[in-house]
Structure 1
C-alpha cells in the first residue's frame, strides 16, 4: 500500500489546506470542519466520506469546505495530520515527564496515551497518521516512520540509551507492530482487547532488549 508523505505531522497539516487560517474565526471554522470530518469517519469510515457530508455535519456551506480543502482527500489528509500532531505532542510530553524514571515506563505511558486516543477521539482509529490512504505515487517518508524517529530520538536523549541505526530500526519495528496490535485490539472492542494490548508491551520489550536494558518490574 502506498504511503502518505509526512515528514512531521505538524508540517503536513498545513500543506494540504487551501487557505491557512490567520484569524481566530478562520481557525475555529477549520477546526469545526475537521471535527465534523472526524465524526463522519467514526460513524461510516473514511472511504465513504464526502465533502458534502463534512459541510452538513459542520453546519457549513459546501463552499466553506472548498475554501479550505480542494477535495475529500485533502480533508482526510488534514484530519490525519491533525491526529498525528496531537499524537506526537502527547507522546513527547510523556517521554519528557520527570515522573517516568526509565524508557520502558515512559514508553508504556506513550502506549497508554495512544489507547486513550483510540477509545476517545472520533476518527483516530481510521486516520492515525495518514499512511492508510492509498495515494500514488508514493513519495517521501511514511508518516509512521516520522513518528517512530521522533519518539526514538526523544527516548535516546532523555535516557541516554543506545541511539545506533540498529536500535532505530528495531524501534521502528516496535512502532509498526504495536500500531497493528492496537488497531486489532480496537477493531471490534471499543474498550480494546487486552490480549492484543498486552502483546504490544511484550513486543516492545522483546525487540528492544538487545539494545536497551528492560528495567526489572
Structure 2
C-alpha cells in the first residue's frame, strides 16, 4: 500500500482487545463479534449497544465477548479501527493515477469511496473511524479524520508528485472533514444517500481544493 498505509493512531482502539487472536479460529471469532456489533449498531445506533446484545447477535456467550473486550467502549473502538482499515484499503486502490488523472479528481474518488462505505458497510454511518466516540482524555493527539487526510496527502505527494506544504495538508484536511460531514448528513435519513446533498458535496469540494492540489 506504499503511500497509503494505516497509521498506528487509527488502530489505537485495537490495543484494548484483551486477547489478540493468534489462531484462525480466534480471528474468526473476533470478526464474528465485530460483525454482530456492527449489525446491532446498524439497527439501534451505537449509544444503546451493550455487550449482551453483541453476544446474543453473535450467538456467543457473554464470557466470549469479555474474553476479547473489557467493555462496550472497547467493542466500539475495535469496530472503528476495523472501519479505518477498510476505508484505507479502499482508498489505497482509489487514489492512484491509473484511476484518476489528477489529485482533484482523486478527491472526488475519496468522496465516492466514503459514500459507498456509508451505503454498504454495516455500522459505518454511526461509528465511521471513531471520532464520534467522545472519550476524555483523548488517547491520541490526532483525530481519525486527520489521520485519514494525512494518508491521502501522502498519496498525492508519492503518487502524483505534488509538493508537500502546509497549504496542501490544510486543504486536504478541510476537504476530508467536508466529505465526512456532507456524507453523514446525506445518509442520516436516507439509506441510499440524499443525491442532492452528495452532489452539493462535490461542488463544495471543488471550491475547497481549487488551485491547492
What TM-score do the two structures reach when normalised by structure 1? 0.90
Distance 2:102 2:199 in 1: 19
Post-superposition offset of 1:163: 2.0
CA distance in 2, matches of 1:133, 1:99: 33
Q: 1:7 to 1:101 in 2, by over 3 A?
A: closer
> How far did residue 97 of structure 1 move?
5.7
Name the Cα RMSD after superposition: 1.6
Matches within 5 A, 1:98-117: 98-117=98-117
Q: Which stretch shows the higher mean deviation, 40-49 or 190-199?
A: 190-199
Cα displacement (A) at 1:42: 0.5
- 1:52 lines up with 2:87 in the alignment: no
- Counterpart of 1:186 in structure 2 is 187
Contact 1:94 1:106 in 2 (8 A): yes
Within the alignment, does 1:144 sit opposite 2:145 as a pair?
yes
Task: Give distance in 2, aligned partners of 1:169 and 1:95.
Answer: 18
Partner of residue 168, structure 1: 169
How far apart, in 2, do the equivalents of 1:133 and 1:10 lie? 13
Cα deviation, residue 147, structure 1: 0.6
Q: Does 1:95 align with 2:85?
A: no
Partner of residue 26, structure 1: 26
Select between 11-20 and 70-79 the one with higher mean Cα deviation: 11-20
Offset of 1:41 from its aligned partner? 0.4
Distance 2:149 2:104 in 1: 15
Question: Comparing 201-210 with 183-192, which one deviates more in the overlay?
Answer: 201-210
| Contact 1:13–1:82 (Cα < 8 Å) also in 2 | no
Residue 136 of structure 1 deviates from its aligned partner by 0.6
Tell me the CA shift for residue 7 of structure 1.
5.0
Q: Secondary structure at the match of 1:66?
A: helix
Q: What is the number of equivalent residue pairs in this alignment?
A: 207
Distance 1:110 1:53 in 2: 33
Unpaired stretches in structure 2, ≥5 consecutive residues: 1-5
Residue 191 of structure 1: CA displacement? Answer: 1.0
- Please give the alpha-carbon distance, in whole angstroms, between the structure 1 residues aligned to 2:13 and 2:92: 18
Secondary structure, aligned partner of 2:108: helix
Q: Which residue is equivalent to 2:40?
A: 40
Shift of 1:110: 2.2
Counterparts of 1:119 and 1:16, CA distance in 2: 28
